[in-house]
Copies of this chain bind each other. A is one copy, B any other.
Amino acid sequence: MPYPTAAIPPHSPRIVIIGAGFGGLQAAQSLAGCDAEVVLVDRCNYHVFTPLLYQVATGVLDANVIASPVRRLLRNAPNVRFLRENVSEIDFDKRVIQSDTEILSYDYLVLVTGSKAQFLGISGAQEHSFPLKTLADAIAIRSRIVDCLETAVAEPDRTETLLTFAIVGGGTTGVEVAGSLAEWVKTTLAKDYPNLDRDWVRIVLVQSGDRLLEEFSPSLGNYACKRLRKLGVEIRLGTKVDRVTPTELYLDTGETIATETTIWTAGVEVDRPDILQDVQTESKGKLPVRSTLELRDRVYAIGDLAYLESDGKPLPGIAPVALQQGVAVADNLRRQLRGKMPKPFKFFNKGRLAIVGGYTGVGNIAGFRFRGFLAWLLWLQVHWVYLPGWYNRFVVLLSWLAAYLGRDRVATLQFRIQSSEFRVQKKVNLKSK
């Protein structure tokens, strides 16, 4: 073992978990104290609380409060070590993973590498639109919005395209971004940009389906539509994107939206390292797993990466699924370490919530549908409770007070970040080893 840790007995089996998102982190934490060496690998040194990403993108929250260093979250797990590495390749036969600097063998492997934006092959979408999957994405969107406002002040002939913001995708993320952006831009213009008229700002939400929030009931989708329109968001239902350019968004209805900012929330696909063996895939590149969450013997796949049906429908790519799967994988691994068989995973659906904007939200909990202020408050409360760390919770509370009582945004600095590309030295290619 190249990295002796006092807490790990010699000759312990090694469990490698790739990805420190909800599922991977939960699995690692649930394996604290087990009779194995656990190695959690991620390309970033931090875990991101992704349900709050849209609030970073719209200046409500600072990036630092929704991300926590992985090592801090593992302080109570002495048998778990963290490796900040990018995993490039996996060999199931040799039972090794290959990162930028080393080859690591495993006895058990848990794949939790998540998903990335999918641009559906639409011309210009990848080059000219802003996805919202990572911390860097969220900060890039926030900076672009500030940039548009600042540039609109300096270049009055470009105000139309600069002050039009398009959002593609009418699922939860698209609705949340549209609502929060409307609140932000409309209130901040009056305070900070006296020379820009708030009526010059257009926010257009483009949805291919015939209603918003298809993961909720039609009545809640229609409610969200009505509330967003009240906030000044233009909504195009049953509309697909043909093409994206730096200054236009072409729709299949023939309409062209003159905008320099298109935010892309319309689809995701699996984001994973190369696997040397053939693996079967489902739609979006998801890997079908057994009911025990095993992709094959000794290898688990969970979270957005895994395809598993529950009650005849595929499980959605949301945090509660990943968290419960993280716990289940840890249980199954503990069983296997004791020579027992893994057990099937059963998802317990606690319900869903989405925030719409203007102090309203929608919810569906235990078959009970509700909407309005209560759903909004419940959304904030649930996410606040799950956010790790007292500092983060405190600052989030302050930020929400500023945003929702003071109608001000506390995190609107304009800059961009680079996460994983930035390393202390050139990467070593180990394929030659």
Residues of chain A at the chain B interface (Cβ within 8 Å): 2-7, 44-46, 62-65, 67, 69, 71-72, 75, 78, 81-85, 99, 101-102, 135-136, 143-144, 146-148, 150-151, 153-156, 162, 191-195, 246, 260, 391, 394-395, 398-399, 402, 408, 410-419, 422-425
Contact = CB atoms under 8 A, between A and B. Distances in A.
20 contacts: A3-B153, A3-B156, A5-B194, A7-B194, A46-B413, A46-B414, A64-B413, A69-B146, A69-B192, A69-B412, A78-B194, A82-B153, A83-B153, A84-B151, A84-B414, A101-B154, A147-B423, A415-B419, A416-B418, A418-B418
A156 B411 contact: no
Nearest to A68: B413
A101 B64 contact: no
B146 A45 contact: yes
Contacts of A64: 62-64, 410-411, 413
B413 A422 contact: no
Given A63-B413, A417-B417, A162 B424 contact: yes
A195 B155 CA distance: 55
Given A67-B413, A85-B154, 9 more contacts: A3-B153, A7-B194, A45-B413, A62-B64, A69-B412, A135-B413, A151-B423, A260-B424, A391-B399
B414 A44 contact: yes
Contact of A143 (B2, B65, B422): B422
A101 B150 CA distance: 12
Contacts of A391: 398-399, 402, 410
A194 B80 CA distance: 11
